[in-house]
Amino acid sequence: MPLAVARAAFSYPDWIFELKWDGFRSLAYIDAGRCRLVSRNGNDFKSFPTLSESLVSALTSRSAVLDGEIVCLDRRGKPQFVDLLCRRGEPRFVAFDLLRIDGEDLRFVPLLERKAKLRALVSNKNDHLLYCDHVETHGEKLFALACKKDLEGIVAKRKYDPYIVGEAQWVKIRNTGYSQWDGREKLFEREREIDPDIYLWDACVMASEEAIRSRRGYSPSSLA
């Protein structure tokens, strides 16, 4: 599900609002004791083997497809993007949607029902799989809190929508004062005005993965 952009936060009864996590967007395909972490462009994240193993053991179901974000958190629970990019911290998967569970397709189920199933699926005892909670109606209050805590922003979603592109829309509202954006355009060698969630972002993520694997002596065949 892609993210549209809103210039300002809003509040509305038919919408829910979540924090926007600063990391790598990923689908987690869990089946037959294995987990594939797949980027928005369909590329496999292969440098998170420990995280993949942890996601398998974290679920009580045999198979599932989760939508979420791979992040590194500091001691305060705040995402640190550079730690994730350079693999300096423990990666975690913050799940905010559930698309399939034990063969049942949930994409046509309303969002709040999908999130309720996801919440029941995620164990509080696992540190690698986290549930992304939400607030209803009060997007402006959550956005103000995100800005106060120096977080990336929030995401707004209609509470009864399916997970079908064209029939649903998710909207991001970015904190323009977010400190971790400083210098990031230089890190990815892009112009300041280019939106990193749209242009070249996935290619940059995969390039960083290749560099890290090469530095550690990994080969693609050993991680397949």
Nearest to 197 by CA among 139, 164, 163, 152: 152
Q: Fill in the DSSP letter of residue 95.
A: E
Identify the burial level of 89 via C-beta atoms within 10 angstroms of its C-beta, where 0-12 means exposed, 13-18 middle and 19 or more buried.
middle
Q: Which two tokens stand for residue 207?
A: 């390039």
Identify the burial level of 17 via C-beta atoms within 10 angstroms of its C-beta, where 0-12 means exposed, 13-18 middle and 19 or more buried.
buried
DSSP of 18-46, one letter per residue?
Answer: EEPP-SEEEEEEEETTEEEEE-TTS-B--
- Among 20, 46, 115, 157, which one carries the catalytic annotation? 20
Number of separate helices (H) and strands (E) present in the chain: 7, 11
Q: How far apart are CA 15 and CA 53, in angstroms?
A: 34
Decide if 20 is catalytic.
yes
Between strands 170-174 and 104-105, the pairing is unpaired
Residues 6+ apart with CB under 8 A from 116: none
Q: Phi first, then psi: what are they for 75, rounded to 5°?
A: -65, -20
Catalytic residue annotation: 20
